[in-house]
Amino acid sequence: MAFDYPAPFLLLARELRRLPGIGPRSAERIALWILSNKDARPAQLAGALTAAATSIHPCAECGFFATHDLCEICLQPSRSGREMCVVELATDILPLEKTGSFRGLYHALGGRLAPLDHVGPEQLRIEPLLQRIRTGKPTEIILALSADVEGEATTNYLVEILEPLGLPLTRIAHGLPAGGGLEHADQITLQRALSGRRPVAER
């Protein structure tokens, strides 16, 4: 009979293997490193996991990560009552925020319409969005969803229910990504880049 690692080791490797991008080999390698490298800090990692999992929850307004009832973004007074940017996931907010070109509020839907996965409008934070629009009266609603089929379907659905509100409704531009050459762009991207063309003077 061949021996294996002790049970607590195997349990640790099994939990590590559940993380995204960590396969069975990496999980074993990381577990070995944690248990045999003097630079490893298993207690600190365990503490950080527990602290993050217990103290972080979705912001009651926008859905971003928050340690209090509202997140840092929603708490900033200068932001209220301006543009509102609708995204799919809380994780989409920081990339937009880091561009530095948006100073309004966000609203994460918590996903997008995906009938095959049983995600309908009721599963998304659409009712809270309408509520916030009624209360906050933003100057513009910007739809910033993914440029794939499900993102498009969700955008179309939102356009349908948001247009009756009579507020300026826009969506982020689709086209050639920065640094992307024409020869590498797919047909749909080029099609959208063409149909989204703007007069050169308009900048």
Contact residues for a copy of itself, defined by CB under 8 A:
2-9, 11-12, 14-16, 18-22, 26, 29-37, 39-53, 55-56, 65-67, 71-73, 89-91, 94, 97-98, 100
- Report, in Å, the least distance between residue 80 CB and a copy of itself: 15
Of 53 and 182, which has the nearer Cβ to a copy of itself?
53
Residue found by looking up tokens 């929850």 in the block: 57
Distance CA 180, CA 6 (A): 50
Of 67 and 191, which has the nearer Cβ to a copy of itself?
67
- Report, in Å, the least distance between residue 175 CB and a copy of itself: 24
- Report, in Å, the least distance between residue 111 CB and a copy of itself: 11
Distance CA 145, CA 138 (A): 18
Of 38 and 203, which has the nearer Cβ to a copy of itself?
38
Distance CA 177, CA 157 (A): 25
- Please enumerate in sequence order all residues whose Cβ is within 8 A of that of 113, keeping only pairs 6 or more positions apart, or say none: 119, 120, 121, 124, 150, 153, 154, 157
Distance from the first to the final alpha carbon of the chain: 73
- Report, in Å, the least distance between residue 19 CB and a copy of itself: 5
